[in-house]
Amino acid sequence: MLINLRLNTIIADFSLPYRVSETTTAADVPVGECEYHWIDSVRHLNNITLRKYRKNATPKAPASHEQERNRLATNYVVRIKRYEIQGRNLLENNSYVDVNVPLSELKSYGHAAIMKKLNEEFPLGVVFDHTAGTGNMLIRFVRGQRFRIELEGVQGNRIRYAYDQTGMYRKYGDNWEPVGTPKKEESCRMVAGNYDENVYGWLHQNFGQSSLTTIARPTAKEVIDWQKLALARARRYPNAASLPIASLLTTVAAAIRQIDPQAGIVLVGCWANGSWLSRIESENLESFGSAANLNTFRTLNKKVTGRSGYSDIDLLIDSDEAITPEMIRVTSGYAISMFRGKKDAQKGMGL
């Protein structure tokens, strides 16, 4: 019996001819993880934590030139210029968001300290993590979703970089040049729905950043010792023709100039500054003169740069053509990276 019904009360008894699906649960969410280079190397971060930042000029040295030198004296600052997941703007109405990492934390924990601050600033975004013992970053996200994160360092020349599900990119003029080898095509399939902050909150809870671990930073003396060994070897091998990979470099340069005969090619990075390690151990031993010097360099190189394997070949290409490593048919045994820029923009060895 129904009693005490008010005027205009509607009573219904009905059923649906289908089962109402439940909200997506954790088991339904496929999590992707991709590894990228971070915008700054282990060596560069070591230099930042070791240097004495000059906010004011001294009789012996000028003041640091960065506009925000007061903040940079105690912080490593990453400026996020764009952050989108499935078209959702996580910066909201801000033109950018600065993420400040205290230098004391950067010195103790390295790249992990940067990832921690990024996760704290964006708890409903992708999960940032790092690969221990390297300068590489991990990004965890809901597989099948598009994301794009554009950022730059406030210290230095402020080159802008971008990360998305297809790889890492560096801005050159109005174009974005890939850094390293693009991700495989199958990792770029777009099959998911809209951005859901509940899903990304779950992602942080269940696939969050690994715990912080104190790292062994090099001392100022170790950095100086490493620089002396690298500089001595750079003087011993003053040009590309004197390097043990000279014939390989000649072949690579010829392949590039088949695409653009006018291309300016500069060898930069480890092979140009004397900090290289060859795939052929006898070449490493010969370059240092003794096994003791080689072993000392290996130990210091790991602490200063975070690298322990043989060196990549890094080339700066001055060309109107967007030349990539995939375009040249050369078997080298080394990973080859190409950066587009003016040939005199960075010190190196001309090819």
> Phi and psi for 83 in degrees, rounded to 5?
-150, 105
Q: Is residue 18 one of the residues assigned to a domain?
A: no
Nearest residue to 319 (alpha-carbon basis) of 255, 271, 243: 255
Residue 239 in any domain: the answer is: yes
pLDDT-derived band of residue 18, with 50, 70 and 90 as boundaries? low
**Model confidence pLDDT, tens digit, residues 201-210:** 888 988 888 8
pLDDT at 117 over 90: yes
Are 117 and 263 in a shared domain? Answer: no
Q: How many domains does the structure of the chain reveal?
A: 2
Please give the sequence-ordered ranges of beta strands (E in DSSP) within the chain, or none if there are none: 31-37, 75-85, 88-89, 97-102, 127-130, 136-142, 147-153, 160-164, 167-172, 175-179, 264-268, 313-318, 336-340, 349-350
Answer yes or no: are the C-beta atoms of 89 and 83 closer than 8 Å: yes
Q: Which of 165, 182, 206 marks a domain boundary?
A: 206
pTM: predicted TM-score of the whole model, two decimal places: 0.67
Domain end position, chosen among 206, 233, 264: 206
Q: Looking at 147, 177, 206, which one is the last position of a domain?
A: 206
Check if the beta carbon of residue 106 is closer than 8 Å to that of residue 74: no
pLDDT-derived band of residue 163, with 50, 70 and 90 as boundaries? very high
**Residue 3 resides in a domain:** no
197 with 290, same domain: the answer is no
Tell me: do 224 and 202 sit in the same domain: no
Q: Which pLDDT score is estimated for 66? A: 54
- Give pLDDT, residue 266: 92
CB-CB neighbours of 94 under 10 Å: 12
Asked whether residue 8 is assigned to any structural domain, the reply reads no
* Residue 303 domain boundaries: 220-350
Task: Pick the closest to residue 125 from 60, 28, 215, 208 (CA basis).
Answer: 208
pLDDT surpassing 80 at residue 70: no
Same domain, 323 and 264: yes
In a domain, 19, yes or no: no
The torsion angles phi and psi of 33, rounded to 5 degrees, stand at: -140, 125
Residue 250: what pLDDT?
92
Q: Are residues 47 and 195 in the same domain?
A: yes
